[in-house]
Amino acid sequence: MRRYVDAARRGDWETASGFFAEDIVLHIPGRSPFAGEHRGRDVAMDYIEQARARSHDAEVELELIDMLAGDERVALIVRERFHLDGRAVEIRRANVYRVRGEEIVEISIFEADQYAVDELLAGPEG
């Protein structure tokens, strides 16, 4: 998980997505067009790319606050900063990863402020 986080913090999503199982399950909360349960590495990467596209130059600052690890699950408490029209939008969340061997097989996202995330993901016409 540390290698995954390091790649994500660098914006190296080619490396980071290599840790996703081909049939990864992604649980996205809220009411945005992305909400729901999604399957597959390509679908997970599409969500990440579309979310990053909301930020200026698709750059999102990722700060790892804490990591909690068990035998099968890892929870990452993170802060992300998106840059929009001269202002920063800070998103705080906990992502819970289920891992099998060296692969991430499931991600569940828990937002600190679901309304802010729904607004961000709604896009400019939001």
Per residue in 20-61, pLDDT (tens digit) is 999 999 999 999 889 999 999 999 999 998 888 888 777 888
Query: What is the distance between the alpha carbons of residues 20 and 14, in angstroms, rounded to a whole number?
Result: 10
Q: Please give the full DSSP string across 57-87, using - where no structure is assigned.
A: GG-EEEEEEEEEE-SSEEEEEEEEEEEETTE
The pLDDT confidence band at residue 123, using thresholds 50, 70 and 90, is: low
What percentage of the chain exceeds 70 in pLDDT?
Answer: 97
Q: To the nearest whole number, what is the mean pLDDT of the chain? A: 91
Count: domains in the chain: 1
Domain that holds residue 21: 2-122
Question: Greater confidence, 118 or 96?
Answer: 96
CATH number of the CATH domain containing 46: 3.10.450.50
pLDDT over 80 at 76, yes or no: yes
Query: What is the distance between the alpha carbons of residues 64 and 93, in angstroms, rounded to a whole number?
Result: 10
The pLDDT confidence band at residue 124, using thresholds 50, 70 and 90, is: low
Among residues 37, 11, 16, the alpha carbon closest in space to that of 104 is found at: 16
Tokens of 6: 């390091």
Query: What is the distance between the alpha carbons of residues 118 and 76, in angstroms, rounded to a whole number?
Result: 20
Tokens of 10: 């660098």
